[in-house]
Structure 1
């Protein structure tokens, strides 16, 4: 496996409130994207605390995990992230109300375990296929689409598009969405913040992941594409290739 990442402030925002990290272990890795929210620099604090929680918990791992162990471990991680951000906000007045999305993927050679809170996403791309979103947005518009009140096309221009129904750190406990799937040679995983997906379609993302070139070139190009399309938000992504060299997917 190989992973690369990139993050960019975008063309409008003053600060980059996204935090992105990849942690490597024994034939396994963890990728985390957190998109912070809150007044002043509180969003930046929230996303940083989430990633720091991941770093601490990853450092405590003693060896490779089975799929069952990885599900339990990742769920515990996301809960610990939530508590860390919530407790910090409660004890720091300037950070009251802050929160962050998170999209985390635990990857081994045979399986992937994904957990998300908010509207940061995870996509899987398999050779010969388009990219598929394997996570669900915890947003107002997605709830409206699911209930049949609006169409997916309406959701793209809905004024409540950015309203989150779930975020880390805003409540003392959090509901979890955890997905497991198998993957194999020729597959790529992408974890990203909504600064990317609000500007680039799923079709465009699949096209870019399937092009020749190194993972870093693909990541950098998608950042440029999102900025060229407006760049109103911070833009972050991680691309993880199942193949050991990862450079020609």
Structure 2
């Protein structure tokens, strides 16, 4: 398990106009769970990048794979040129790194990854959402919880084909089988989506150790009832453990606070992100 960045922090950037600031507040938390001996999840929470990687259990050195991914993504720290192509490039370099990892066999190793990166488009801040596998990104806006990413999994394909319901997917025997991963000597193929940065929005980045144990209703409940990101992260992880804790569980809760006038302590996003 690799954790890069402080578990709880605030960060302020100045928008290119120089008139307003944007403040992010976040917390990350991970737990091995009750049934796993090793935590193969890894997490990076260093602006502008917030991501979770879930090393694939049952394969060699899943912790090596997840660590390689977050280590490469952490190279975006304090930089402003984040975009989809650079994220894909970082994941490709992580695949190369995995081959050199201790305990990795000739068959290779793999991990899921999902996250968000803060970027600028025509002077406006936006989130680049990316994912490979079944770790997820959610957004909570005005009390409405929405899953932003789409799982790359066998059960998701069955749901999309209308062969099973979403409720049946939650208990399907092939629920752990993913159809896309980072690793196994193959080029990574992430999905990307752009989200506007909305003051008051809350983002959740999580491994499937959370979504195996909590329904969307439960996730929304704990996200709404805990205004502080650290409290929300702790409540989510605790609930997952109390509901079984069958897997490693990792979460990042990320808030976008209302913009304010720039002050002397604000840091410039347009000139490079600083932490």
Q: Taking structure 2 as the reference length, what is the TM-score of the superposition? A: 0.77
Q: Secondary structure at the match of 2:182?
A: coil
In structure 2, C-alpha distance between the alignment counterparts of 1:155 and 1:12, rounded to whole Å:
22
User: 8 Å contact 1:102–1:168 — kept in the other structure?
Assistant: yes
Unpaired segments ≥5 residues, structure 1: none
Give the match for residue 84 of structure 1.
94
In our comparison, the structure showing a higher alpha carbon Rg is 2
Greater strand share, 1 or 2? Answer: 2
In structure 2, C-alpha distance between the alignment counterparts of 1:221 and 1:6, rounded to whole Å:
10
| Alpha-carbon offset, residue 201 of structure 1 | 0.8
| Alpha-carbon offset, residue 103 of structure 1 | 0.5
User: 8 Å contact 1:46–1:100 — kept in the other structure?
Assistant: yes
Unpaired segments ≥5 residues, structure 2: 1-23, 260-275
| Alpha-carbon offset, residue 87 of structure 1 | 5.3
Give the match for residue 237 of structure 1.
251
Aligned pair in 2 of structure 1 residues 149, 90: CA closer, same or farther (>3 Å)? farther
Give the match for residue 184 of structure 2.
170
Runs of 4+ displaced beyond 4 Å: 38-41, 90-93
1:224 aligns with 2:238: yes
In structure 2, C-alpha distance between the alignment counterparts of 1:90 and 1:147, rounded to whole Å:
39
Aligned pair in 2 of structure 1 residues 75, 203: CA closer, same or farther (>3 Å)? farther
User: 8 Å contact 1:75–1:176 — kept in the other structure?
Assistant: no
Aligned pair count reads 231
| Alpha-carbon offset, residue 172 of structure 1 | 2.3
Aligned pair in 2 of structure 1 residues 90, 213: CA closer, same or farther (>3 Å)? closer
1:106 aligns with 2:117: yes
| Alpha-carbon offset, residue 85 of structure 1 | 2.4
Greater helix share, 1 or 2? Answer: 1
1:34 aligns with 2:86: no
